[in-house]
Every structure is written in structure tokens, then in C-alpha cells.
Structure 1
């Protein structure tokens, strides 16, 4: 993979819900298949800080918070992430991500406050002509970090090294990322408001959520490729 961007992902919350396969299948572009664990599809809400994002060769990086709703898919047997939306508090970052990676990024006004190990995050989408999204949550790790076992649910939900996107004509593109394995901690989270599901056409899941936290890691991303 030829590196296009380097960055740091910090203070990462993974909150996931199992949902029926058909719930996700009907939302995907043609060509992508639902990736399942124990017979379920999964929807994930993932807030974190994107830090020191810089193109290859650039001495200057940018940092901002991001909040995304995602699921897990395969294409030709290759697992990856499919994003329904990514809200970010950076006008330039949103514009670049939309242009370079065709990702569904939206501008948002976001604030994060840390009190010890606990983070409180608030987000209000400000992107023109986009569904309204408001989000308020607080989260905190509750245990020691450790790597996920290869065959575990935690690894299925987090160890993803490719993402897929589709354009307005239904053509599929992908890009690869690289990073060390995640060190994950159990965590607690309280959602005071979460409009992400409704904004993407989902009912809020009523299944029991699975929560992980990571202090973060360093990431590199390659360029976007069109699937054959």
C-alpha cells in the first residue's frame, strides 16, 4: 500500500449493536454483502479524535473530532467497513475526505471535555442540506487494555483494514488502511441523545450493546481504488 495519509486515532469508543441481517442488507449498495458474527449484522457508533492528519510529505497536520455510524461488509471475500455517515468538526477535512475518498462526511460543531478518564462529547451537524443530527454521550474505560483474540467478536468489530464506498452511479470503491492491532478496554457509555440511526433510516436498535474503548493508535491510509 502506498501511503497517502498518516494520522493518529485517539480516545476511541466503539459502541455496537447486533441487528437482523436484512436490516443492514437492504441499506447497502449492490455488490456489497453483509458481514456477520454469530448470525447477526452489526451497527456501530464510533466517536474519536483524529489527530495530526497529514498528507505524505507534509510537515503540518490537522486535528479534530469525528463521529461515525458504520457496519461491516465483504466484497469478493475481502472484509471491510461501510460508513453511513461521518460527522467531523473541520471544514477543510470534510471537503478533502469527500473529494479524495468519496466518504459521506458532514460538517458538525463538536465539543469534547475530559474529566479524568471520562469523556463527554457533544455534536450538532451543521452541513447544509443534510439530515439533522444531534449527539450527546459520555464514556469511560473500566479495565486494562489488551489485544483482542483473532476469533473474537471484539476483533471482528475493530480489526478492519479496508473501507468501501459507492458513488451516485452505484460504482464501488475501496481504500486500505494500516495500523497495529487494537488494544481494547471494557467501557461504559451513556447516550443522552443519538440521532445517527434515524438520520440513516434505521430504528434505534433495542438489542444489548457491546462497548469497547481504546486509547488509540497510529494509522496510515492509501489512495482510493475503483473495484473492477
Structure 2
């Protein structure tokens, strides 16, 4: 996989607010005493099984809502939801990887440096989830390295989800460090929080932009 043209839109919340939505088996991870919810739009480019040439991959725009957990000393991501184009891919991710994917109509267009991302969830029986935003890299530098917020939300190599049967699943991922810059962002609509049982945060988000990295993920395992 090659995740491209990402926005990391990160909101601080009280830890108890986010912890109440996690499976009991997972421990919330915090930064400066806060839990963090991140909305991450991007395009998953050249998606394909291992060993299949890149030219046979497909580009699928995606949108996820995530938080951060620490499990047995391993900093990890927990996905509340993932919206994606492509019915076959969504069904495959749900069936074989136990991921909370939802079918959505998504457009992700890049004009110059500006990205336009529009998500409208159309998954049968699912709560509505709409997201409309534009974003681009901004001038300046992002402080990175151990102990920074950028490192906290991006340098994680395992993700967890809760399967429909209530079991907790995880996959390991490998990727280079994320190249990051500040982001100029306009969010016009965002109902992802409400779709996942959260009130809209009153806090101000911190935004990072990345042109992307290549990612490989292991098979899903039960914890």
C-alpha cells in the first residue's frame, strides 16, 4: 500500500471521554494528559496483495477516525471506523481482516498542492458519516522526534480493532517515518465523531500534512 496526500487532524479530549469507547482489553495512551482523536483522510494507492506487481493495484480513497492505545508497552492505533470506496474492498476488509470498514462515496482531488476530500457514507444500516474538507501543506516546520505530538500520533506500528463478535484484533504494520509539515485546513463538515458516539470536540485541532509513505500490514490476529 502507498498512503498518499494525508491530513492528520488531531483533537485533544479528556481521557475518560475516549476510554469509555475502548474495549476493556486496551489501555488508552495519552499525550500531555490528553487523549487524542484523529480524523485522517488520504488515498490508499496501488492496493494489492503481497507479491502482486504495483501496476495491478487500485487507488482507494479512505477516511478513518482513530485514537491511541498502549498495549503491553507497544504504542498502537485503535480504529473506531474506516470509510472507503470500493464495495469489494470493504467487504474483504470486514470479512478477512475484521476491520470496521464502511462503504462510502468518496472523492479526493488534488489541484496543485490543495487537496479536496469529500466523504458520504452509504453503508447499509450504518450511522451517517459525512466529511468535507480541503487542505494543503503550509509553511513552517513540524517538531518531530520522541516526546512530540507529531511522533505520538504517527510513529505507531500496530493497530487494533474490535471485531463484530467482540474479540480484539490487531495487525502489525511497517513503514518509514512520516514526512510531516504544518497544514492549512478548512473543514466544512464533519459528522464522524457523532457517527461513533462522541460529541463534537470543543477543543481546537492540531493539523499535520504528509505526502505519504509506503505501508505493509500483517494478517489480522486475535489478541
Alpha-carbon deviation of 1:112? 2.0
Contact 2:13 2:35 in 1 (8 A): yes
Alpha-carbon deviation of 1:142? 0.5
What secondary structure does 1:198 align onto?
helix
Provide the residue aligned with 1:26 in structure 2.
20
Q: Is 2:64 aligned against 1:68?
A: yes
Alpha-carbon deviation of 1:146? 6.7
Provide the residue aligned with 1:36 in structure 2.
30
Provide the residue aligned with 1:3 in structure 2.
none
Contact 2:99 2:163 in 1 (8 A): no
After superposition, the Cα gap between the structure-2 partners of 1:221 and 1:161, relative to the gap in structure 1 and judged at 3 Å, is same
Gaps of 5+ in 1: 1-6
Provide the residue aligned with 1:132 in structure 2.
128
Contact 1:179 1:217 in 2 (8 A): yes
Deviation sequence 1:125-173 (CA, Å, 0-9, x none) = 1110100111111111113677821221100011111001122343222
Provide the residue aligned with 2:43 in structure 1.
49
Q: Could you state the TM-score of these two structures normalised by the residue count of structure 2?
A: 0.95
Contact 2:43 2:108 in 1 (8 A): no
Contact 2:142 2:150 in 1 (8 A): no
Provide the residue aligned with 1:123 in structure 2.
119
For residues 147 and 8 of structure 1, the distance between their equivalents in structure 2, rounded to whole angstroms, comes to: 24
For residues 196 and 95 of structure 1, the distance between their equivalents in structure 2, rounded to whole angstroms, comes to: 20
Contact 1:53 1:63 in 2 (8 A): yes
For residues 99 and 11 of structure 1, the distance between their equivalents in structure 2, rounded to whole angstroms, comes to: 27
Provide the residue aligned with 1:11 in structure 2.
5
Aligned-pair Cα RMSD in Å: 1.4
Alignment partner for residue 185 of structure 2, among 185, 189, 193?
189
Alpha-carbon deviation of 1:219? 0.8
Alignment partner for residue 178 of structure 1, among 174, 183, 191?
174
What secondary structure does 1:79 align onto?
strand
Contact 1:145 1:183 in 2 (8 A): no
Q: Is 2:73 aligned against 1:77?
A: yes
Alignment partner for residue 114 of structure 1, among 106, 110, 128?
110
What secondary structure does 1:24 align onto?
helix
Gaps of 5+ in 2: none
Deviation above 3 Å: which 4+ runs of structure 1? 144-147
Deviation sequence 1:11-55 (CA, Å, 0-9, x none) = 010000000000111000111111000000000000000000110
After superposition, the Cα gap between the structure-2 partners of 1:89 and 1:145, relative to the gap in structure 1 and judged at 3 Å, is farther
